[in-house]
Structure 1
C-alpha cells in the first residue's frame, strides 16, 4: 500500500506520517518545495525511516508541479492521497487563504486524479460550518450558514470543490481547534488558545494563584489534541465502506471558553476567572430572543466590529492576541460527531479530557514556544553569537536553558551522558534556525572530563559562559544511610568534584579570554538545610564555598561567578519522589529564566525570599529553625527507594501539603 501526503512538514501532517509509519506498510511520498528539502531531510532523519520519500512540487502549480515522469511512473500505485497542505490561520488575508486553501485543493485533486489514487482524503475544518445556529452534524454541509472570515469561507469552498469536482473517491475530516500532543505537548506554532498563554504567564508572575478574576461568558469552544486527530484520521482512512463521508474530529462534549482558559490557568499556576453573569443567568429571559440579540451574541458582534478590532489591536494586540482571533473565540454551532464515534468504536481512540493534559501543553509552550527571550534586548545583547557550555543539557533545566539561549541568538554547547538525547535537542534547535554543538560526556568520570576540556578548548572559538547544571539528588535520612556511604561519594563525585574538574580544565582558556561567566546551579537547601538531604546539600554547599573562594582569586582575570540557589523544580530528577506531585514547584522554564538572568546580569548570587529567610533564621534563631525542620522531618516519610512505598495519606498527607505550600520551593 502506498501513500501521498501534502503538508507533511506541517503540524498535523508530521503526526499523520508518524502514524502511517507505525501502523501501515508501504512507501509514503511527501510533497515538498525545493526550498524546503533540507527541512524535510531533517524530518526524515527524525522519523528514522527510508519509507518516507520526498517528491518536489508546488501547491500553487497545476498537478502540484510534480514531475510528469514521476507522475507517469506512479500512476495507479497510490492507494491513499492525503491533502493536508493548507492555511490554518484565522489571521491570514484573503489572497493567501484563496491560494492555499482553494487553489491548492483544486491542484491536489488534479494530481490525485492523474495518479488514479484509490481515495482522496481532504483535511477540512469545523470552520466550514461557519456560524450555523444549532447542531451541525456530519451529514450537513451547505446549510446557508454565514461564513464570517476568509478562513471560514475558504474552508467551506475547498470542501465544496472536493464534493463536487473530485473524480476519485473521497473522505473529508473536520478537526476542531487542534492543540499539542496530549502526551508530549509537542506543538509547532502559536495558534488558538496559545495566543492567550503570554497573558496567563504575566498573571502567574504578577498575582497570587488564589486571587479570583472576573471573566466574561464567551460561549463554547472545542479543542482536540493533535495525536487524537492523527490517530483518528489513520483509522478512519482505512475503515471500509466510508467513502463520500465527512467526519467531525471534535470533543463530543464542548468546553466553554472560560473553562478552557481556566484549565490552562490551573496548569500555569495563574489565578482563574469567575463569570458572575453567564448563560445560566441569561438563558431563561433571553431563550426566545434570536441568538444575535442575546448578550453573548451582542458581545461577539461588538468585538468583531471595525472600531473594536482597531481598539483591540492597540490593547490586547500588544500582548500578542490578534483581534481577529478574539472575535472568533467561541463557536456558534454545536458539532455532532456520532458518525466518527461509531467508526472509532473499539479502536481505543478517543478525545482525552483537557484537564488531563493541559499542564503538558502549558509546559511545552513555556519551554519551546514562548518567545519572551527572543524579544528581550538585554538577552540578545548578552548572548548573541556567544558559546554557552551547559552541562546536564539532555533534560530539565539544562535542556530548556539551551532552547532559550538559542532563542536569544546564543550557541548552546550541549554536555550530558546521553548522546541520542543531545543530538535530538541539537536537531530541534537547528530546525528552529539556531546552532548547537554536542559533546557527550559522563561528568562523574574525571578522565572523561579532562578529555572534554581538551575538546572544548580545541574545537570552540570561545567559551563565553559555563552553566554547571548537571547534578544528582539523593533523599534519604541518616538512619537509613548507615551502610550507604557510596551515596555521599557519588553525590560529591558529580555535584562537586565533576564541576570543579570541568572548571579547572577550562580555566586557562577562560583567563586567556578574560570574559567568561560561570553559573553554578546550587539549591535552596544550602540556605534552609532541609532534613534527608545531607548528601545532596553538602555537595552543593561545597561547590558554593569553592566558588566563593575562587571568585576573589580570578576577579582580575575576567572570570566571574553566579550561584543560583534554585527552589524545587519539576524536573526528572525529582520525579521518583511521588509526594512532590502535590507540591508547589517552579517549572523548568521558570528555572531557565533564572539561569538566563544570571548570565545577563551576572550577580554574585540569585536567591529566593524564602531561601534568604531560611539563611537568616539559621543565623539569628538556629534552635527554632531546627525545631521547625525536625517537625517537617517527622511529617514527611523517607522516599520509596529508601524504605519502600510511601504512606503519606489522610491527615499526614494534608500536613505535608500544608507545609509544602507554606514553605514553597523547599525540598522536603
Structure 2
C-alpha cells in the first residue's frame, strides 16, 4: 500500500504517521511547503529516518495542493489512502484564515485526490461540525439545521460538506473531540482547549492553599481525548473494510463535566479546586425544559458570553491569564456525541479512551515543563538572561532539562551538558523548535580529564560564559549499616557531586575572570540543612560543595564572580524514581525547581532555602539533641529502600506518608 498525508508535521499528523510506520507497509508521501522542508526532515529523523517517508513539495493554498504535474502523472492510481489533516485548529483564528485553510485546503486536497485516483480520501473533520446542535448527535448525522457560532465551526462544517458532496473518490470522515496531549508522555505542541486554563491553575497553586474551595460555574459538558487514541483509531478505522462513506466520532463515550474536568487538572497541578453551589442537580429540578431552547439558562449564559461587553470583561480578567473570551464561550457543548457505530467498528482493536484522571498529571507536567511561556512576560528574567550563555549540567532530564527550556524562552543560550549526547540533542531540538538557540556537549562529569577537555572547548567556542548551573548529581539512599562494605558509594557521590562540580567551575573561572563577571548556581539539597538519616554519602557531597563555594566566594567577589546555593527540596525527577515510597510523598515538580533556578540566575542571592529547610537548620542550632532524637524516629519509621536492600519495593505506610507531609520536601 501507499499513502499520501497532508499535515504530517501537525500534532495529530505526527502521531498518525508514526502509527502508519509501525503498523502498515509501503511508501508514505508527506506534503510539505518548500519553506518547511527542514522541519519535516527533522521529524523524519525522529521517525528513524525511514526511507519509506518521502516529502512532496506543495502548498495547501494551491489547486491540487501545488504538487508537480509530473509527480501527479507518475502516481496516478498508485495511492491507496489519502489522509487530509492539514487545517487550522484554533478557535481564535480569523474568518479569513479559517476559510482559506479549512475550506480552500479541503478543495485543493480533493482535487489532488481525484487527479491521482486515490483509493480512499480520509478527511479529518471535528465535532465542531455539529455547531450548536442540542441533544444526541451520532455518526450518521451531519446537516441537522444546527447553528455555526464561529468561523471555526462553519469552516469545519463546510469542509466536511464538500467531501460528502464533491469527493471524486470514496471517502471517510473522522470527527475528533478536543484533542489533548499524549496520554503516556504528555507531549503537546500548542496551547488549545483546556490548556488555556493551565496558567490560571499555576497561579492558583503558587498563591493559594490547595485546600481552599473556590466558587465555580457549571458550564455544562465537554469532551476531550488524547492524541494517541485519535491517531491509533484513525489508523485502525482507515483500514477496516466496508466503511466508506461513513463518519467516525473519536470522542469519549462519556461526556465530561467541565467543572470535573477543571478540577481534575487543578488536582494534577496541586491547586485549589472548584465547588459549584448551583449545578445541574439544582437547575434540572426547575421547569426550564418547558422553555424554548434559546431561553434556557445554559443558552442565555452562552449568549451573554458572546456579547461585546462580556468579551471586554473577560479579556480584562481571565484574558490576563491567557484565556481568550472565545475559548470560554465554547468551553462546553450543547451536543452529546454518540459513538456507538465507531465503537462497533473498533471492536477487536483493543482501543479505548483512557480515563482522564489516569493521565491528567502527565499532561500537566509536560505543559509546566515544556509549554509554559510565562517567563517571556517576566521583565526581570528576560532582561537578565537575554543573550546570555548558561552552562547547565544534567540537562538531559529533570531539573536541568526544564531549566534549559525556560532560560531559552527568556532569550538565553543554554549550553547543555550531560553524559548522554543523544538525549541532549533531543533537548536541543526541542528548544530550537520553540524558537530558541542551544548547544549540546556530551561529557561524563565524573571523569575529571573529560571535564578539563570540556572547559577548554567551551572557553574556545564562546566569547563569554555568563552562568553555570551545577545540576548533575548522584543520590544514594542507604544507611551506614548497609554501607560498611560499600565505601565506593561515598567515592562515587563525591566524585560527581563535589569533585566534578568544582573541576568544572575551576576550568571556567579563567574565562569569567577575563570578562570580570560570572555567576554559579549550585543545586544543593535541603538535606544539608536538615541532615536526614540514610543520606550520609549524598548530603556530605552537597555540604562539601556548599562549604567550598562559601570559602571561594570571598576570594572571587572582586573578580565579579558570585555563587548561589539552592537547598532544593524533594523534586519529582528520575533520580528519586528507584525509591518507590516517594511516589506518595509531597514533592515539587521539575518546573517549580526550575523556577527556583531562574530566580537564582536573575536575583543572584547567596542561598535559596525553603521554610522547612530553615526550620531544620534552626532546630539543629537551638536544640541539636532534640533534633537528632526526631531524626532517629524518622530513621525507625523510614527503613532502607528495597533497592538498597536488594528487595522488592513496598508501598509507603500511612505513618511514613503522614511524617513526610509534616516535614514537606525533606528526603527520607
Identify the TM-score tier after normalising by the shorter chain: over 0.9
- Summarize deviations over 1:269-300 as a string: whole Å, max 9, x none: 00111111111111122343344333333222
Contact 1:113–1:168 under 8 Å retained in 2? yes
Quote the Cα distance in structure 2 between the aligned partners of 1:583 and 1:299.
Answer: 42
Quote the Cα distance in structure 1 between the aligned partners of 2:30 and 2:291.
Answer: 51
Q: Secondary structure at the residue paired with 1:373?
A: helix
Q: Which residue of 2 aligns with 1:101?
A: 102
- Summarize deviations over 1:163-183 as a string: whole Å, max 9, x none: 000010000000000000001
Q: Which residue of 2 aligns with 1:30?
A: 30
Return 32-41 or 137-146, whichever deviates more.
Answer: 32-41
Q: Which residue of 2 aligns with 1:405?
A: 407
- Summarize deviations over 1:23-82 as a string: whole Å, max 9, x none: 111111111111111211111121122222111111111101111111111111111101
Q: Which residue of 1 aligns with 2:186?
A: 185
Contact 1:636–1:648 under 8 Å retained in 2? no
Contact 2:580–2:651 under 8 Å retained in 1? no
Q: CA deviation at 1:541?
A: 0.3
Q: CA deviation at 1:490?
A: 0.5
Return 286-295 or 376-385, whichever deviates more.
Answer: 286-295
Quote the Cα distance in structure 2 between the aligned partners of 1:524 and 1:289.
Answer: 62
* 1:620 pairs with one of 619, 622, 631: 622
Q: Secondary structure at the residue paired with 2:391?
A: strand
Quote the Cα distance in structure 1 between the aligned partners of 2:206 and 2:295.
Answer: 38
Quote the Cα distance in structure 2 between the aligned partners of 1:288 and 1:344.
Answer: 39
Q: Which residue of 2 aligns with 1:577?
A: 579
Quote the Cα distance in structure 2 between the aligned partners of 1:536 and 1:292.
Answer: 66
Q: Secondary structure at the residue paired with 1:86?
A: coil
Q: CA deviation at 1:569?
A: 0.3
Q: Which residue of 2 aligns with 1:351?
A: 353
Equivalenced residues, count = 665
What 5-or-longer segments of structure 1 have no aligned partner? Answer: none
Q: Secondary structure at the residue paired with 1:390?
A: strand
Quote the Cα distance in structure 2 between the aligned partners of 1:138 and 1:24.
Answer: 26
- Summarize deviations over 1:494-545 as a string: whole Å, max 9, x none: 1011111111111111211111110000000100111111110010000000
Q: Secondary structure at the residue paired with 1:403?
A: helix
Q: Which residue of 2 aligns with 1:508?
A: 510
- Summarize deviations over 1:452-509 as a string: whole Å, max 9, x none: 1111111222211110000000111111111111111111111011111111111111
Quote the Cα distance in structure 1 between the aligned partners of 2:302 and 2:651.
Answer: 49
Answer yes or no: is 1:588 the counterpart of 2:620.
no
Answer yes or no: is 1:69 the counterpart of 2:70.
yes
Alignment of 1:348-427 (within 5 A): 348-427=350-429
Alignment of 1:487-636 (within 5 A): 487-636=489-638
Quote the Cα distance in structure 2 between the aligned partners of 1:581 and 1:622.
Answer: 30
Quote the Cα distance in structure 1 between the aligned partners of 2:547 and 2:316.
Answer: 51
* 1:453 pairs with one of 452, 455, 475: 455
Q: Which residue of 2 aligns with 1:11?
A: 11
Q: CA deviation at 1:631?
A: 1.4
What 5-or-longer segments of structure 2 have no aligned partner? Answer: none
Quote the Cα distance in structure 2 between the aligned partners of 1:93 and 1:546.
Answer: 58
Q: Which residue of 1 aligns with 2:45?
A: 45
Q: Which residue of 1 aligns with 2:57?
A: 56
Quote the Cα distance in structure 1 between the aligned partners of 2:278 and 2:638.
Answer: 44
Answer yes or no: is 1:645 the counterpart of 2:648.
yes
Q: Which residue of 2 aligns with 1:306?
A: 308
Q: Secondary structure at the residue paired with 1:284?
A: coil
Contact 1:637–1:647 under 8 Å retained in 2? no
Quote the Cα distance in structure 2 between the aligned partners of 1:648 and 1:243.
Answer: 51
Return 443-452 or 134-143, whichever deviates more.
Answer: 443-452
Quote the Cα distance in structure 2 between the aligned partners of 1:226 and 1:253.
Answer: 17
Answer yes or no: is 1:2 the counterpart of 2:2.
yes
Contact 2:643–2:649 under 8 Å retained in 1? no
Q: Which residue of 1 aligns with 2:84?
A: 83
- Summarize deviations over 1:122-180 as a string: whole Å, max 9, x none: 00000101111111000110111111111111111100000000010000000000000
Quote the Cα distance in structure 2 between the aligned partners of 1:590 and 1:412.
Answer: 19
Q: Secondary structure at the residue paired with 1:120?
A: strand
Answer yes or no: is 1:321 the counterpart of 2:338.
no
Q: Which residue of 1 aligns with 2:171?
A: 170
Q: TM-score, normalized by length of structure 2?
A: 0.98
Quote the Cα distance in structure 1 between the aligned partners of 2:508 and 2:321.
Answer: 42
Quote the Cα distance in structure 1 between the aligned partners of 2:367 and 2:508.
Answer: 35
Quote the Cα distance in structure 1 between the aligned partners of 2:378 and 2:215.
Answer: 31
Contact 1:637–1:646 under 8 Å retained in 2? no
Q: Secondary structure at the residue paired with 1:374?
A: helix
Q: CA deviation at 1:558?
A: 1.1
Quote the Cα distance in structure 1 between the aligned partners of 2:368 and 2:248.
Answer: 33
- Summarize deviations over 1:277-335 as a string: whole Å, max 9, x none: 11111112234334433333322221122221122122211221000110011011100
Q: TM-score, normalized by length of structure 1?
A: 0.98
Contact 1:374–1:407 under 8 Å retained in 2? yes
Contact 2:222–2:257 under 8 Å retained in 1? yes
- Summarize deviations over 1:82-112 as a string: whole Å, max 9, x none: 1011111111121111111111101100000
Quote the Cα distance in structure 2 between the aligned partners of 1:220 and 1:291.
Answer: 17
Q: Which residue of 2 aligns with 1:143?
A: 144
Q: Secondary structure at the residue paired with 1:565?
A: strand
Contact 2:186–2:363 under 8 Å retained in 1? yes
Return 376-385 or 586-595, whichever deviates more.
Answer: 376-385
Contact 2:580–2:650 under 8 Å retained in 1? no
Quote the Cα distance in structure 1 between the aligned partners of 2:239 and 2:304.
Answer: 45
Quote the Cα distance in structure 2 between the aligned partners of 1:91 and 1:346.
Answer: 39
Q: Which residue of 2 aligns with 1:269?
A: 270
Return 559-568 or 371-380, whichever deviates more.
Answer: 371-380
Quote the Cα distance in structure 1 between the aligned partners of 2:152 and 2:587.
Answer: 41
Quote the Cα distance in structure 2 between the aligned partners of 1:292 and 1:640.
Answer: 62
Q: Secondary structure at the residue paired with 2:485?
A: coil
Answer yes or no: is 1:662 the counterpart of 2:662.
yes
Quote the Cα distance in structure 1 between the aligned partners of 2:159 and 2:19.
Answer: 25
- Summarize deviations over 1:532-591 as a string: whole Å, max 9, x none: 111100100000000000100111011110000001100000011111111111100110
Contact 2:581–2:650 under 8 Å retained in 1? no
Q: CA deviation at 1:365?
A: 0.5
Return 204-213 or 308-317, whichever deviates more.
Answer: 308-317
Q: Secondary structure at the residue paired with 1:400?
A: helix
Coordinate RMSD, CA, aligned: 1.1
Q: CA deviation at 1:646?
A: 4.0
Q: Which residue of 2 aligns with 1:133?
A: 134
